[in-house]
Amino acid sequence: MSAEYHIVVCGSVVPDPLQTLAPMQGPTGPGLKNELMLPAVLDPFAAHSLYEAADLAKKNPGSKIWLVSLGNKMKLQQLMMTIAQKVSFELVALDGSASGFTDSFEVAEVLAGAIENIAGLDRSKLLLFGGCSSASRDAGVTLQMIGERLGLVNQFLAVDKLTSEDGGNLRILERIEGGEYQVSTCSGPPAVMGWATGNLPEPPNNPQVGMANMRTIMPALQKATASQVGAAGMTFEKVELPSQQRKTRIVKDTPVEEIAREIVAWIKG
Amino acid sequence: MESILFLAHSQSDGTLPKSALEALSAALEVAGKMSGGGLSVGLIGDNIQGAADAIAACGAQKFLAVEGPEFSVSRYGSDAAAAEALVRQSGATLVLAPGTSRFSRSLPGVNQRLNGRIETHVSGLDCAGDTLKLQRWYYRKRMEATLTRSQRPWFVLVDAGVFPVWEGEAGSANLEKVEVALDDDCKRTQVVGVEAPTSDAQTIRPDAELLFVAGAGWTKKQADGEIHLKDAENLILGFLQKSKASLGSSKSLVDQSCEGEAVLTFMSHLNQVGQTGATPRHPKGLATCCHGEEPHVVGWRFINERRAISIDPNCGWAIGKADVLYVADAFEVIAKVNEILES
Q: What is the pLDDT of residues A44-76, one digit of tens each?
A: 999 999 999 999 999 999 999 999 999 999 999
Distance from CA of B174 to the nearest CA of A (A): 30
What are the structural domains of chain A?
Answer: 6-226 (3.40.50.620)
pLDDT score for B37: 65
Q: Per residue in B130-140, pLDDT tens?
A: 999 999 999 98
Q: Work out the percent of chain B whose per-residue pLDDT is above 70.
A: 93
Beta strands (DSSP E) in A60-154 are 64-71, 90-95, 126-131
Chain B nearest-CA distance from A65, in A, is 23
Contact A242 B301 (CB under 8 A): yes
Rounded percentage of chain A residues whose pLDDT exceeds 70? 99
Q: Please report which confidence band the pLDDT of residue A244 belongs to, taking 50, 70 and 90 as the band edges.
A: low
Is B108 within 8 Å of A249 when comparing Cβ atoms?
no
Taking each helix axis from N to C end, the angle separating B330-342 and A256-268, rounded to the nearest 10 degrees, works out to: 60
Q: How far apart are CA B203 and CA B10, in angstroms?
A: 25
- Check whether the bond before B153 is cis (ω within 30° of 0): yes
Contact between chains at B138 and A257 (C-beta distance less than 8 A): no
The shortest C-alpha distance from B64 to chain A (Å) reads 24
**Is the Cβ pair A267, B327 closer than 8 Å?**
no
Which SS3 state, helix, strand or coil, does residue A176 take? strand
Chain A contact for B263 (CB, 8 A cutoff): no
Question: Which pLDDT score is estimated for B199?
Answer: 54
Instruction: Categorize the per-residue pLDDT at B259 as very low, low, confident or very high, splitting at 50, 70 and 90.
Output: low
Compute, in degrees rounded to 10, the torsion defined by CA atoms A42, A45, A50, A51.
110
- Ramachandran category for residue A179: left, alpha or beta (phi over 0 → left; psi -120 to 50 → alpha): left
Residue A178: CB atoms within 10 Å = 15
Q: How confident is the model at residue B292 (pLDDT cuts 50, 70, 90)?
A: low
**How high does pLDDT run on average in chain B?**
90
CB distance A180–B194 less than 8 Å?
A: yes
Q: Does residue B297 register a pLDDT over 70?
A: no
- Does the model's ipTM exceed the 0.90 cut? yes
Phi-psi category of residue A55: left, alpha or beta, with phi > 0 → left and psi -120 to 50 → alpha: alpha
pLDDT band for A133, please (50, 70, 90 cuts): very high
How near does any CA of chain B get to the CA of A216, in Å? Answer: 30
- Closest-approach residue (CA) in chain A for B100: A177
User: What is the predicted pLDDT for the residue at A172?
Assistant: 98
A237: nearest CB among B117, B147, B260: B147
Residue type, B176: E
Q: What is the pLDDT of residues B182-210, one digit of tens each?
A: 999 999 999 999 987 655 567 888 888 99
Res. B269 pLDDT band, cuts 50 70 90: confident
- Cβ–Cβ below 8 Å for A267 and B148: no
Return residues 197-226 of B near A (CB < 8 Å).
197, 202-206, 209-210
B111/A141 CB distance under 8 A? yes
- The per-residue DSSP string of B60-125 comes to -SEEEEEESGGGSS--HHHHHHHHHHHHHHHT-SEEEEE--HHHHHHHHHHHHHTT-EEEEEEEEE
Closest by CA position to B318, among listed A263, A242, A267, A251: A251
pLDDT, tens digit (0-9, with 9 covering 90-100), for A72-106: 999 999 999 999 999 999 999 999 999 999 999 99
Measure CB to CB from residue B117 to each of A105, A186, A196 and give the nearest one.
A105
pLDDT for position B293? 53
- Poorest-confidence range of B136-150, B210-224, B297-311? B297-311
B322 in contact with A at a CB cutoff of 8 Å?
yes
Over residues B143-171, the pLDDT tens digits come to 999 999 999 999 999 999 899 999 999 99
Minimum-distance CB partner of B138 among A101, A249, A266: A101
Q: Are A12 and A47 in contact (CB under 8 A)?
A: no
Q: Give Cα A32 to chain centroid, integer Å.
A: 19
**Confidence band (pLDDT; 50, 70, 90) for B36?**
confident
Contacts across the A-B interface (CB distance below 8 Å): 281
Structural domains in chain B, CATH included, are 3-188 (3.40.50.620), 210-342 (3.40.50.1220)
Highest mean pLDDT pick, B183-192, B225-234, B235-244:
B183-192
Render pLDDT for B60-102 as a digit per residue (tens, 0 to 9): 999 999 999 999 999 999 999 999 999 999 999 999 999 999 9
pLDDT score recorded for residue B251? 75
Residues in CB range of B13: below 8 A, 6 or more apart: none
**B138, B185, B323: residue with CB nearest A248:** B323
| Res A8 pLDDT > 70 | yes
CA-CA distance, B88 to B93, in Å (whole number)? 10
Handedness of CA A16, B147, B26, A107 (dihedral sign): negative
Please indicate whether, in this complex, the C-beta atoms of B324 and A251 are within 8 angstroms of each other: yes
**Mean pLDDT across chain A:** 95
What average pLDDT does this structure show over B37-52? 94
Chain B residue nearest residue A247, CA to CA: B320
Question: Would you call B283 an interface residue with chain A, using a CB distance cutoff of 8 Å?
Answer: no
